[in-house]
Structure 1
């Protein structure tokens, strides 16, 4: 992680999901001895605001008071699970995406509630969430609101998606660290599909040797994990290779996990230019919290 501290920052608003995110972060801060900042950002009222009733000053005061109420509510949520934790409350008069991105430069982790419209069980990410997952300078955790019947297990493993590119190295490291802190096994899931290769072999009049391909993918996964297993000998690792698209394979495991960790390299030639479709789908559909760790090295392909 490239951030300057290990303190946690929670972006809070008036939603119930942000209160769940605040409680989730409070437990983590309490258990790990970390600082906790609760940040609420509101756009400044334009200076062109007409000086009618209410006046510009009246509107500013109301916005400030509303922000203070949001922060006090978040502090109360923190106190429910960690009464001994002194959470700092910060009101920033700027656009939420800009404010939280600035906060991420000195944070160990940025935590957000998965807000947005819910359609057929999916939470459609808002522009602020997508922007922060793509551009924040620290890992970003999304805590999805849920009801009792679809709540993820609190004692499940940490699950990490592993691909063949170096850009995911930071995500693997974060997953090992989380599994070590939580004293829980780590499930490393590598997904592959032979669709493209199958079409190439078909055009050449041959057929792909699926067994050899799968053996290669298992070896690749072992190589990607080897150094991290040596660094975290306390973490029990289960390697899983599945012949599915990453979204499908990882969502199957997310239902049984307490945390899903994924890398994000964005689209195009610049890392973090946009949130990839795989990461965005996992944040939207996974029942458990999702930690997005943006790689710092450029990648040649999409996730």
Structure 2
């Protein structure tokens, strides 16, 4: 066994769904699974033990232990062959998960939560984790389409290369194909300078589509040879990135995007595209940082 998948749990139904996904991801990788609960209450200086008037199994500390125990049991029921460890870590959820990402090859979280993970997808936590985690972050949303492809958002930027690699590796682990989608408009296409300065436009009519097709081909170059058994389909969409990815996610088992990119993907993690995908995709979403983006 090598590698480690970490999953954040808080006792919610969403986090238990994340545990099931994380257990399957660990099994596919031959990796261990670490179940982590961020225990914020010690920093709040509140009583952690059972109340003198309550049952001995009460109290915040025992509740945290039960949350982790339930998650561990769920993980082992899904992937009994996976080595599952667990921890209740004192700290704020974002800080705890960011620290876990330093040793993990994948961090998995649910799209909604309670307790320590309140507002995970509604505030800055998920955005910050996706932007600053040291490994890919997988956010579990709706149940994915069985047998669907890995949907890859391609933008052609150097920062997106890690996302392409991750998508191909995931497709190989899942024994499925890839649908590489690229959405473009005349406003987000890099236009080369005109060959003849006297020409009023840098591109002749219809040339922009060809530029975008070459961009996608270059982004996928080398991966097809490395993964010859994976079927790759490409789809060019002239239109909005958000709408195209969300619609295609209906029939995908995983959506993979880079943390930052160009054009329609500019500021993905920090802007409207990421918010739309993380909130509205119809399958789990993996956000993968570029090598230039983090330590």
* TM-score w.r.t. length of structure 1: 0.80
Contact 2:14 2:113 in 1 (8 A): no
Q: Which residue of 2 aligns with 1:63?
A: 60
* Structure 1 residues 172 and 273, CA gap change in structure 2 (3 angstroms): closer
Q: For the aligned residues, what is the CA RMSD?
A: 3.2
> Which residue, 3, 6, 13 being the options, matches 1:6?
3
* Structure 1 residues 187 and 63, CA gap change in structure 2 (3 angstroms): same
* Structure 1 residues 273 and 246, CA gap change in structure 2 (3 angstroms): closer
Unaligned runs of 5+ residues in structure 1 are: 56-60, 118-122, 198-203, 299-303
* Structure 1 residues 284 and 97, CA gap change in structure 2 (3 angstroms): same
Structure 1 residues 19-38: aligned runs within 5 Å? 19-38=16-35
> Which residue, 148, 152, 166 being the options, matches 1:174?
166
Q: Which residue of 1 aligns with 2:148?
A: 156
> Matched residue of 2:59: which SS?
helix
Partners of 1:215 and 1:195 in 2: how far apart?
Answer: 15
Q: Which residue of 1 aligns with 2:175?
A: 183
> Matched residue of 1:141: which SS?
strand
Partners of 2:261 and 2:234 in 1: how far apart?
Answer: 26
Unaligned runs of 5+ residues in structure 2 are: 53-57, 115-119, 190-198
> Which residue, 131, 140, 143 being the options, matches 2:140?
143
Q: Kindly indicate whether residue 129 of structure 2 is the aligned counterpart of residue 132 of structure 1.
A: yes
Partners of 1:241 and 1:17 in 2: how far apart?
Answer: 33
Partners of 2:46 and 2:228 in 1: how far apart?
Answer: 60
Contact 2:27 2:79 in 1 (8 A): yes
Q: Kindly indicate whether residue 119 of structure 2 is the aligned counterpart of residue 94 of structure 1.
A: no
Partners of 1:47 and 1:20 in 2: how far apart?
Answer: 28
* TM-score w.r.t. length of structure 2: 0.82
Q: Which residue of 2 aligns with 1:113?
A: 110
Partners of 2:288 and 2:30 in 1: how far apart?
Answer: 22
Q: Kindly indicate whether residue 292 of structure 2 is the aligned counterpart of residue 297 of structure 1.
A: yes
Partners of 1:266 and 1:21 in 2: how far apart?
Answer: 27
Contact 1:170 1:263 in 2 (8 A): yes
Deviation at 1:163, TM superposition (A): 0.5
Structure 1 residues 118-267: aligned runs within 5 Å? 124-144=121-141, 146=142, 151-195=143-187, 209=204, 211-265=206-260
Deviation at 1:276, TM superposition (A): 3.3
Deviation at 1:6, TM superposition (A): 2.4
* Structure 1 residues 73 and 135, CA gap change in structure 2 (3 angstroms): same
Q: Which residue of 1 aligns with 2:80?
A: 83
Contact 1:272 1:294 in 2 (8 A): no
Deviation at 1:210, TM superposition (A): 5.0
